[in-house]
Amino acid sequence: MAAICQSGIKWGDDWLVRYSARPNDPDIRALARVLTHRCACPDAPYRHALGLEPEEIEAVTTRFFPAAEDAGWPISGCWRRHSAETSRSGVACHDQRPDPGYGRFSRSLLEQEEQDLCRLFLNHASGGGIWPVIFARLIARACMEPEHLWMSLGLEGRDQLSGILERHFAPLAARNDRDMRWKKFFYKLLCDEEKVWTCTASSCEICPHHPECYGPEL
């Protein structure tokens, strides 16, 4: 299934993986989709849409897509302009647009929520390595968007997101044994930690908002 970003461009071909030495690696394929899809975020420059600094974007691209630079794709910025040229969509890159205060979210709120979510993810990381760190940052930033989490990330569907969580945050994924929607589940855990509950229902089963937290993410 091709993901459709907020600007209407389709990023479903996983074209970036052709520049990887391991194109069949599920993490490489997921990362490629996130890197391209988040170029289309209308609220902030690429580095803010991803939740990574320019030097971090460069390091990730160089490590996992080493042939991209030789092919003429920038390793420290977004690919939106180049993708637009390829698809003839006429969409320009806004990587250098002034920071608008992280779009529709205040800087302080965004930073605090991201820190809390990153901490939650990394406290449940399955071992070491760079993948949990990368995905913790990317997922935490995408949680700030209103769409289903897998859509904000540009993934193929909920199953691809679940695969990332099961590989790199297995203890966290295992706690979602009732198949709650991932973003709702993450925030529920944060509320439980702080003992601050916005839901007044005594249980999920009788809550009038139950369909918003459970069910297919289509």
The model's pTM: 0.78
pLDDT tens digit string along 72-100?
A: 777 766 666 555 555 544 444 544 444 44
pLDDT of residue 107: 59
Shared domain check, 215 and 112? yes
Rounded average pLDDT over 98-122 = 70
Rounded average pLDDT over 150-168 = 94
Q: HEC states along the chain? A: CCCECCCCCECCCCHHHHHCCCCCCHHHHHHHHHHHHHHHCCCCCHHHHHCCCHHHHHHHHHHHCCCCCCCCCCCCCCCHHHHHHHHCCCCCCCCCCCCCCCCCCCHHHHHHHHHHHHHHHHHCCCCCCCHHHHHHHHHHHHCCCCCCHHHHHCCCCHHHHHHHHHHHCHHHHHHCCCCECHHHHHHHHHHHHHCCCCCCCCCHHHCCCHHHHECCCC
Local confidence band at 45 (pLDDT 50, 70, 90 cut-offs): low
Shared domain check, 204 and 141? yes
Question: Structurally, how many domains does the chain consist of?
Answer: 2
Shared domain check, 151 and 64? no
Q: Where among 89, 104, 119 does a domain terminate? A: 104
What domain range includes position 95? Answer: 1-104
